[in-house]
């Protein structure tokens, strides 16, 4: 991956709440998730499933820019997560699918897009084992469709949001951006393959792409198929936490607000052709996570009582033990996580207490793996 070809990217998205004498700009942000997608219009395109926080931040902090939210409205989408900005003048919602090449081409022809933030993906690892072809279609083909349309439209920046899982697992070695990709599940494999397409457009055309690889994100708005909202919701419904295998596998958790700041940092300062890890040193085993949530929600410190709220279920076909990452590269751009675990998890627990039914099918997400009918 190469160095920056020019220095104008940092001016594409100005500092927050800045104004211009020319009125509202034409920044187009397209944000897409397999479940929730969004677009912004100073022509920035964004796609991802945890993107609601990014959309809200952009709409509220950059009132002079139009944000267009492109969303497929898949099973884990909820427009309720965007109700606070739904009537804002600089926000527009469009329903659509990045796998529809004709639609995507028309979108870029009718909406001048300068920047793309592409988070779009099927991301549920459990589901990827039983629907691997669907993950390949959405995550690889859909990315190629969006990437090529952005290239033909000559957008000025294309940010592809990937995952730490492309590295595969490691018990001791920390991954940096140059580490080889060794994915071990269909989801991670599809993201790694999509990365190759994105990188090829830089190598062949010098199309200004940036790739991010982040640790596990948690916080409000997340569909409860992910481990933290799933455990929280199970306990709040007086059901046991279902743990895959031994539960000794560990994960690094980043609060949503910190991830938003990371993406905005990459948007403003990331160099074309580069990869940035977005990680944290906060690491916790799944068993420890379950016990902490039981303590907070069930208000007990008794080991025997906590054991009553845990149920061990069959493990995934493959389940990496750790994803240790180095994030010094993005630290050099000025970003570091700020929200402490205890603060972030308490806010998350409270949000799910009031908002679990933001999704009509939220109950399905609480079933243990394998879930054959999650998207039916």
Spot the catalytic one: 71, 97, 114, 164: 164
Residue pair 219/289 in contact (Cβ under 8 Å)? The answer is no
The set of residues, in sequence order, having a beta carbon less than 8 Å from that of 220 and lying 6+ positions away, is 53, 81, 256, 347, 348, 351, 352, 355
How far is it, in rounded angstroms, from Cα 93 to Cα 86?
Answer: 8
User: The tokens of 100 are what?
Assistant: 């529809």
Can 165 be counted among the known catalytic residues?
Answer: yes
DSSP 281-331: S-EEEHHHHHHHHHHHHH----HHHHHTTEEEEPPPSS--S---B--HHHH
CA distances to 223, 269, 270 from 4, rounded to whole Å, are 36, 10, 9
Residue pair 46/38 in contact (Cβ under 8 Å)? The answer is yes
Spot the catalytic one: 71, 165, 195, 225: 165
Spot the catalytic one: 187, 218, 255, 323: 187
Pairing, β 157-163 against β 250-255: unpaired
How far is it, in rounded angstroms, from Cα 126 to Cα 131?
Answer: 9
Can 218 be counted among the known catalytic residues?
Answer: no
CA distances to 190, 291, 310 from 304, rounded to whole Å, are 41, 11, 10
The set of residues, in sequence order, having a beta carbon less than 8 Å from that of 153 and lying 6+ positions away, is 108, 109, 113
**Catalytic (active-site) positions:** 164-165, 187
């Amino acid at each position: 991956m190469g160095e920056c070809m020019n220095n104008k990217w940092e001016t594409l998205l100005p500092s927050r709440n800045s104004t211009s004498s020319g009125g509202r700009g034409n920044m187009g942000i397209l944000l897409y998730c397999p479940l929730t997608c969004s677009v912004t219009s100073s022509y920035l395109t964004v796609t991802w499933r945890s993107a609601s926080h990014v959309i809200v931040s952009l709409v509220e902090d950059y009132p002079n820019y139009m944000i267009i939210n492109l969303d497929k409205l898949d099973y884990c989408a909820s427009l309720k997560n965007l109700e606070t900005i739904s009537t804002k003048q600089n926000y527009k919602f469009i329903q659509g699918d990045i796998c529809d090449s004709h639609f995507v081409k028309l979108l870029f022809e009718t909406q001048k897009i300068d920047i793309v933030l592409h988070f779009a993906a099927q991301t549920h690892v459990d589901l990827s084992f039983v629907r691997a072809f669907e993950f390949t279609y959405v995550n690889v083909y859909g990315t190629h469709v969006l990437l090529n349309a952005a290239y033909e439209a000559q957008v000025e920046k294309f940010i592809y949001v990937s995952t730490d899982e492309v590295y595969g697992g490691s018990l001791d070695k920390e991954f940096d951006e140059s580490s080889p990709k060794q994915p071990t599940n269909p989801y991670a494999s599809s993201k790694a393959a999509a990365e190759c397409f994105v990188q090829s457009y830089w190598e062949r055309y010098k199309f200004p792409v940036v790739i991010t690889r982040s640790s596990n994100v948690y916080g409000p708005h997340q569909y409860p198929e992910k481990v933290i909202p799933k455990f929280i919701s199970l306990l709040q419904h007086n059901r046991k936490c279902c743990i895959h295998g031994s539960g000794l596998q560990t994960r690094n958790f980043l609060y949503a607000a910190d991830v938003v700041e990371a993406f905005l940092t990459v948007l403003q300062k990331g160099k074309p052709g580069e990869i940035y890890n977005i990680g944290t040193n906060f690491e916790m085993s799944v068993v420890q996570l379950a016990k902490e949530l039981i303590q907070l929600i069930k208000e007990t410190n008794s080991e025997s009582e906590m054991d009553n709220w845990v149920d061990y279920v069959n493990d995934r076909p493959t389940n990496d033990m750790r994803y240790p990452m180095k994030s010094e590269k993005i630290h050099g751009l000025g970003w570091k996580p700020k929200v402490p675990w205890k603060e972030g998890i308490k806010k998350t627990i409270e949000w799910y207490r009031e908002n679990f039914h933001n999704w009509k099918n939220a109950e399905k997400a609480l079933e243990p793996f394998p879930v054959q009918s999650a998207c039916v």
